[in-house]
Amino acid sequence: MRHWIQFGLVALALLVAPPVYAEVYETAGFDTNWYYEVDKKSAWQGDLTARLKAIEGVFEGQLGVYVQNLASGEAFSWRAHDPWYLASLIKIPVAAQVLAERQVGTLTLDERLTLARSDFVDGAGPTNWHDPGTPISIRYLMEQMITVSDNTATDMLIDRVGLAEVNARARAMIAASGGNPDELGPISKLVGVRQGVYGELHPDARALGGMDFIALRQHSVSQRGQALARALGVSTQSFTQPDYDHAFDAYEATGENVGTLSAFGDLLASLHPVHQRGAMDDLGDEQRQTLLALMQRTSSGKRRLKAGLGDSVSFAHKTGTQQRRSCDAGIAERTDVDTAAEGPWVIVTCTRGPEAVSAHERALARVGEALRYSGALGKPW
């Protein structure tokens, strides 16, 4: 007991302590990489590493953190080259493809798509409040997809622009920043995620539709297997996974909606004018600024990175949440410094482990604090 009390006190001290700039940390074990062949290591990396170790010890799960200074090219990685389930972060390339088609004139944001009963997907957002047959503007669907992570809106937009085109867009965004597109797995529709997860329990679940999954969502996670068996008219003994948690692990292992945090950082970097070098002429400055403005209005995840970064950081971001997994990623700019000299920064974070979403949110908030106090985002504040 004394050991755990002492560990907790040490972890707490690291979370609130000011940064230490003396070279007192081992650096050989850091997993760092540098853009533009920058061959140096800043003092804050050791401080940030120590803080992340402390956070992870309290969290009782795993953290993934990627930070890239778009002005200097300096990057830091904590498990950022491992594969992570990205959840709703994949909605950013969906929005980018919509805006690319807006640029070439194949759609307008005022165009209306008709909501069909087959479009409904469980999850957050107000699109499900509309009746089937309702015409809804692409502008509204984009807003709901990014700011509140609306799944039904997302699948409607994917149907409009094409899933293959969304995947091509994501790869092009990574390549535009000099990254490796192969570090991002295939993006699927949100209903496809449900078909994939429940399909790991029983293959017949792959034929279910959005309304079926909304009904299954009414049951607690521990009861969803039995509810699925009733819906399919089969026995749980025929299941190929013991429970929903294992089914999700098996689905993640397929690689859908999975990628490295460093690759997703490259994707985000392609949106910022500091980093954009004309490699994506079909997604011009106006469209990129439209997307970043949407991300600024994100209202989900207020208890995640933003809670730790504080009010002096402008954060255009997107969140993601799934079974025992959470993410928060975006572009941060200091509002209290000369950004020509410091930043902006791409930040990509994901967590996996505990069942309670609140535990993930606390860990992500502490990561935000660690970025502040370590000096990762310029002079600590």
Give me the helix-helix angle, 261-269 and 91-104, nearest 10°.
30
pLDDT of residue 61: 96
Q: Can you give the pLDDT at residue 202?
A: 98
The enclosing domain of 311 has a CATH number of 3.40.710.10
Residues 219 and 321 in one domain: no
The number of domains in the chain is 2
Whether residue 268 sits in one domain with residue 222? no
Residue 304 lies in a domain: yes
Give the pairing type, strands 325-334 and 345-352.
antiparallel
Give the mean model confidence (pLDDT) for residues 254-280.
87
Query: Contact 152/159 with Cβ under 8 angstroms?
Result: no
pLDDT greater than 70 at residue 151 = yes
* Rounded distance between C-alpha atoms, residue 323 and residue 352, angstroms: 9
Same domain, 267 and 333: yes
Q: Are residues 234 and 217 in the same domain?
A: yes
Report CA-CA distances (Å) from 170 to 191, 230, 273.
19, 38, 18
Last residue of a domain, one of 235, 253, 271: 253
Task: Evaluate whether 316 touches 296 at the Cβ level (below 8 Å).
Answer: yes
pLDDT over 70 (residue 11): no
Instruction: Give the separation between CA 220 and CA 342, rounded to whole angstroms.
Output: 46
The verdict on residue 113 lying in a domain is: no
Q: How much is the pLDDT for 337?
A: 73
pLDDT tens-digit readout, 192-241: 999 999 999 999 999 999 999 999 999 999 999 999 999 999 999 999 99
Beta strand residue intervals within the chain, DSSP E:
62-69, 75-78, 83-85, 112-114, 135-137, 258-260, 313-322, 325-334, 345-352
Same domain (yes/no): 367, 305 = yes
Whether 264 and 249 map to the same domain: the answer is no
User: What span, in angstroms and rounded, lies between the C-alpha atoms of 84 and 30?
Assistant: 19
Which residues are within 8 A (CB) of 10 and not within 5 positions of it... i.e. 6 or more apart? 54
Among 25-34, 138-147, 247-256, the minimum mean pLDDT is found in 25-34
Q: What is the mean pLDDT of residues 34-46?
A: 63
Please say if the pLDDT value at position 7 is more than 70: no
Same domain, 261 and 369: yes
Does 126 reside within a domain?
no
Q: What is the predicted pLDDT for the residue at 37?
A: 36
Per residue in 175-204, pLDDT (tens digit) is 999 999 999 999 999 999 999 999 999 999
pLDDT of residue 274: 65
Strands of 62-69's sheet in order across: 75-78, 62-69, 345-352, 325-334, 313-322
Helix axes 151-161, 138-147, angle to 10 degrees: 130
Q: Say if 380 falls within a structural domain.
A: no
Based on the domain organization, do 267 and 368 belong to the same domain? Answer: yes
Q: Is the pLDDT of residue 16 over 50?
A: no
Assess whether 319 and 227 both reside in one domain: no
Tell me the C-alpha distance between 217 and 232, whole Å: 15
Co-location of 198 and 301 in the same domain = no
Confidence category of residue 342, pLDDT binned at 50, 70, 90: confident
| Residue 5 banded pLDDT, cuts 50, 70, 90 | very low
Distance between CA atoms of residues 69 and 187, nearest Å: 27
- Residues 283, 212 share a domain: no
In whole angstroms, give the CA distance from residue 30 to residue 33.
9
Q: What is the structure's pLDDT at 335?
A: 87
pLDDT at 40: 53
13 has pLDDT over 70: no
In this structure, what is the dihedral angle of CA atoms 334, 273, 294, 260, given to the nearest 10 degrees?
-90
What is the domain extent for residue 49? 2-89+257-374
Looking at the fold, whether 13 and 62 belong to one and the same domain comes out as yes
Q: What is the pLDDT of residues 288-301, one digit of tens each?
A: 999 999 999 999 88
- 134 domain residue, yes or no: no
Q: Residue 242: how many CA atoms within 13 Å on its side-chain side?
A: 1
pLDDT given at position 338 = 66
